Amino acid sequence: MTGADSRAAGARRPWESPALPVGERVPVWAPGAGRVELSLPTTGEALPMERVGDGWWVSPRALTPGTDYAFRVDGSPDRPDPRSARQPYGVHGPSRYIDPSAWAGAWTDDGWAGRDVRGAVIYELHVGTFTPDGTLDAAAGRLGHLARLGVDMVELMPLAPSPGASGWGYDGVSLWAVHEHYGGPEALARFVDAAHREGIAVCLDVVYNHLGPSGNYLGAFGPYFTAAHHTPWGEAVNFDQAGSEQVRAYVIDAALRWLRDFHVDALRLDAIHAIVDDSPRHVLAELSEAVVALSDELGRPLGLIAESDLNDVGVITPVDERPPARSPSLGMTAQWADDVHHALHARLTGESQGYYADFAAPGAWLRAYSHAFLHDGSWSSFRGRRWGAPVPESTDPRRFVVFSSNHDQVGNRAVGDRPAASMGDDALAAQAALVLLSPYTPMLFMGEEWGTRRPFQFFTDHDDPALAAGVSQGRRREFADFGWSAKDIPDPQAPSTVASSRLDWDEPGAPDHSRLLQWFTRLIALRRELGWSQRRRWPGVEEADGVITVAYDDVIVAVNLSGQERPAPDHGEALASWEPGEAGAGPRRPGVLAAGQTLIARR
C-alpha cells in the first residue's frame, strides 16, 4: 500500500511530486537512515531504495499486488512496512502489497447516504467472540439480527494486527492493517458493504495513544515515540517533538484511509486523554478538520467518537469555537460518558467499591444521569482531586455516548461478569429503558439485547513467553488487592478464556432471553417513532420512593425499583410497558406501577 493515496487534506508528501511518478513504488519514512533496502523474501533480493527528500525513500521498482516485502534500515533485520495494509504472517513477518482499487468495483453501496453518530443506536462488538468463527465474514452473517433489532451503527473493537489469534485489539501494532485472523482488509470491505446494505453504519475503534509491546518496530524507522511524555503504556507517540510532522501525518492518513477507502462512517478514538500533544495545534483538532473536509468531499457524514477521561466538553467543541472549559477545542463529534454508566451501575447493582463509591452517594446517580458528568469540578475520591468541568445547558446531549455495558466495564472486572449476572430481568429491562430513552446517544454491548449472562473476559495471545507470563501474573496481582484468589481469575492466555467469552447464538430463541430481546427491539422502535435521534432535550429526572421518573415534554419514562406497588405518575397513552414476572402478571390496576414495572407513556 502506498502512502500517496492516503493523506491529510491539503498535505503533500515528497513522493507525490508531479516530477516523480510513483505508481506502485512503495514509500517509507526513515529520516535518520543512511541506507534503506527493499527486501523481497520470495526471491531473496535486497534492493537499495531511492532517497527522495525529507526523510522519505521509495522502492526502486513498482510492486504488483500480492508481493511480500519488508524493509531493512541500515542493515537491520527485515521489518514490516509501517503503512502495511496486510500482515499475512503476523506482526513480525513481512508485509503484503495490496491495491485498494482491487475491490473498488465490488462495492454495492453507491446509494449509501451515511449516518450521523449523534442520536444513533450503536452496537459494540468484538469480531473474535461475536460468532463461533470469529471473523468479519461471519459477523456480516449476523447483520440481519442487528437490523431487526434496529441498530443504526456497529462499532467494531480494534482490528489492527496484534500477536497471535486472539486479543481485544488494543495492543495492535500495524495501524494501517486488518488482523489476518479476522479476514484481512478485503473482509473489512465486505463487512462494511454488507452493513450498508442493511442500512447500518460502521464505526471502527482505533488506538492512536500507544502501540502494543510485541511487533512494534516503528522506532527502527524514525522518531515515532518520545521520552518527553509518558503514558500508562510507556513512551508516548511523538505528536509534538522533533520529527512529529510525519508522525502526525502517519496517524491522520491512517484515519482518513478507513473513512475513504473502506467506506467506514466513524472512528472511535481510544483513551484520547493519553494522547499528549503540547503543540499549538492539537493533533486531534487537525484530524477533526481533515475529517470535516473529507466529509464535504464525499458528501456523507463522518464522525469521530472520543473515549475521554477528562470530563471536559472542550473535547466535543468545534475547533473554531472557544472551549467553555480547560481543554482545547478538539472538534470530536461525540464522547463516551463513563459517569452515566457508573451512575446507573451503582444505582441498579448497589456496588460501591472503587470508583463506584462517589456514584453510590445519595443523589449522585441523578446528577450524573441528568448532566452527563458527576465530576464536573467536584471532588473525585478515587482520583484524589477535583475533576472535570460543568456541561453547559446549550450542549447537545446527543454528543455523549452512554451505555450500561461495554468491553471495558465488563472485561476489566475480575471475572468479566456482565450486569446480567447479578441482575434480574426486571432490572435489565429498566436499565435498557434508561439507556435507550435517555437524552444521549445509546450504545449496546454485544449480547446485551437478549440478556446474555456469558462473561466477556480479558484475553490475549502473546507469542513471547516472557510477555505472556507477565500478562497472566499481572492480571492475578491486579485483583489480589480486592480479595480475589488467583485461581478465580481467568488466565488471559488460556484458550478457555476466549471460548467462554463467545456469544451463544442459541440463546436469543430461548424463552427467558427472547422476551428481553423483544423489549429492546420495542424500545429502539419507539426511538424511531418518536424521532428520538433528532432530539436535543435535557429531561427532568427525579426519584421518589424507589420510582425513577424521566420526563420530557411529550414522553415520560417511569421505573419502579422499590420492590412494592407505587402510584404511577400522571400520564396519557401507554406506549410500552415491561410487566414484571416471566410472562407478566395480568392486567395492572389503573394508576399503579407494579414492583419491577417499567412504563413509557405520553404525558
> CA of 144: how far to CAs of 47, 194, 419, 602, in Å?
49, 10, 26, 31
CA dihedral sign of residues 512, 515, 517, 520? negative
* For residue 570, pLDDT beyond 80: yes
The answer to the question of whether 411 is labelled as a binding residue is: yes
The answer to the question of whether 55 is labelled as a binding residue is: no
Q: For residues 390-399, give the mean pLDDT.
A: 95
CATH number of the domain within which 76 lies: 2.60.40.10
Residue 256 corresponds to which cell in the numbers above? 482518513
* pLDDT at residue 13 in the model: 53
Return the HEC string of 104-170.
HHHCCCCCCCCCCCCCCCEEEECHHHHCCCCCHHHHHCCHHHHHHHCCCEEEECCCCCCCCCCCCCC
> CA of 245: how far to CAs of 17, 153, 304, in Å?
18, 33, 21
> CA of 153: how far to CAs of 114, 118, 149, 219, in Å?
10, 11, 11, 36
The answer to the question of whether 402 is labelled as a binding residue is: no
Specify the range with the lowest mean pLDDT, choosing from 26-35, 287-296, 360-369, 473-482: 473-482
Q: Please report whether residue 386 resides in a domain.
A: no
* For residue 568, pLDDT beyond 50: yes
* pLDDT at residue 517 in the model: 98
Q: Rounded to an integer, what distance in angstroms lies between the CA atom of residue 220 and that of residue 197? A: 42
**Per-position DSSP letters for 484-501, written without gaps between them:** --GGGSPPTT-HHHHHHT
Closest among 411, 412, 424 to 451, alpha carbons compared: 424
* Phi, then psi, of 209 in degrees rounded to 5: -95, -15
Helix (H) / strand (E) containing 303: strand 303-306
pLDDT tens for each residue of 16-53: 444 444 456 899 999 999 999 999 999 999 999 999 98
Residue 163 corresponds to which cell in the numbers above? 500477536
pLDDT tens for each residue of 78-93: 999 999 999 999 999 9
277 belongs to the catalytic site = no
The answer to the question of whether 290 is labelled as a binding residue is: no
Q: Are 60 and 48 in contact (CB under 8 A)?
A: yes
Q: Coil, helix or strand for 395?
A: coil
In whole numbers, what is the pLDDT of the chain averaged over residues? 91
Q: Are 252 and 283 in contact (CB under 8 A)?
A: yes
The answer to the question of whether 341 is labelled as a binding residue is: yes
Amino acid at 411: G
Q: Are 176 and 231 in contact (CB under 8 A)?
A: no
Q: Please report whether residue 346 resides in a domain.
A: no
Q: What is the DSSP letter of 523?
A: H
Q: Please report whether residue 591 resides in a domain.
A: yes
Residue 403 corresponds to which cell in the numbers above? 451505555
Confidence category of residue 477, pLDDT binned at 50, 70, 90: confident
Q: What is the DSSP letter of 528?
A: H
Closest among 471, 512, 522 to 494, alpha carbons compared: 471
Q: Please report whether residue 71 resides in a domain.
A: yes
* pLDDT at residue 581 in the model: 78
Q: Please report whether residue 533 resides in a domain.
A: no
Q: 591: domain range?
A: 539-602
Q: For residues 513-518, give the mean pLDDT.
A: 97
Confidence category of residue 588, pLDDT binned at 50, 70, 90: low
The answer to the question of whether 407 is labelled as a binding residue is: yes
Q: Rounded to an integer, what distance in angstroms lies between the CA atom of residue 529 and that of residue 396? A: 20
Q: Please report whether residue 287 resides in a domain.
A: no
Q: Higher confidence at residue 593 or residue 591?
A: 593
Q: How many CA atoms lie within 13 A of 213 on its CB side?
A: 14
pLDDT tens for each residue of 169-197: 999 999 999 999 999 999 999 999 999 99
Residue 313 corresponds to which cell in the numbers above? 466538553
* For residue 524, pLDDT beyond 90: yes
Alpha-carbon radius of gyration of the chain: 25
Q: Rounded to an integer, what distance in angstroms lies between the CA atom of residue 286 and that of residue 267? A: 15
* pLDDT at residue 15 in the model: 44
Sheet holding 50-53, edge to edge: 27-29, 56-58, 50-53
Helix (H) / strand (E) containing 285: helix 283-298
* For residue 531, pLDDT beyond 90: yes
* Annotated catalytic residue within 78, 180, 186, 307: 307
* pLDDT at residue 9 in the model: 40
The answer to the question of whether 409 is labelled as a binding residue is: yes
Q: Please report whether residue 58 resides in a domain.
A: yes
> CA of 369: how far to CAs of 364, 365, 538, in Å?
9, 6, 10
270 belongs to the catalytic site = yes
Residue 247 corresponds to which cell in the numbers above? 508522525
Q: Rounded to an integer, what distance in angstroms lies between the CA atom of residue 588 and that of residue 586? A: 6
The answer to the question of whether 210 is labelled as a binding residue is: no
Q: Higher confidence at residue 487 or residue 539?
A: 539
Q: Which of these three, 49, 77, 101, is where a domain ends? A: 101
Q: Which of these three, 78, 101, 124, is where a domain ends? A: 101
Helix (H) / strand (E) containing 599: strand 598-602
Q: Please report whether residue 196 resides in a domain.
A: no
Q: Rounded to an integer, what distance in angstroms lies between the CA atom of residue 394 and that of residue 9? A: 31
Q: Rounded to an integer, what distance in angstroms lies between the CA atom of residue 470 and that of residue 582? A: 46
**What is the DSSP pairing of strand 334-336 with strand 303-306?**
parallel
When divided into structural domains, the chain yields a total of: 2
Amino acid at 32: G
CATH number of the domain within which 568 lies: 2.60.40.1180
* pLDDT at residue 393 in the model: 92
Specify the range with the lowest mean pLDDT, choosing from 6-20, 89-103, 192-206: 6-20
* Annotated catalytic residue within 171, 253, 270, 312: 270
Neighbours of 147 (CB within 10 A): 15
Confidence category of residue 481, pLDDT binned at 50, 70, 90: low
Q: For residues 252-267, give the mean pLDDT.
A: 96
* pLDDT at residue 3 in the model: 36
How much of the chain exceeds pLDDT 70, in percent? Answer: 94
The answer to the question of whether 410 is labelled as a binding residue is: yes
Helix (H) / strand (E) containing 259: helix 244-261
The answer to the question of whether 342 is labelled as a binding residue is: yes
Place of cell 480486592: 482
Q: Coil, helix or strand for 452?
A: coil
* For residue 467, pLDDT beyond 80: yes
Q: Which of these three, 80, 101, 122, is where a domain ends? A: 101
* pLDDT at residue 76 in the model: 97
* pLDDT at residue 424 in the model: 95
Q: Rounded to an integer, what distance in angstroms lies between the CA atom of residue 56 and that of residue 363? A: 58
Q: Are 283 and 277 in contact (CB under 8 A)?
A: yes
* pLDDT at residue 327 in the model: 75
* pLDDT at residue 488 in the model: 83
Q: Rounded to an integer, what distance in angstroms lies between the CA atom of residue 411 and that of residue 269? A: 18
* For residue 8, pLDDT beyond 50: no
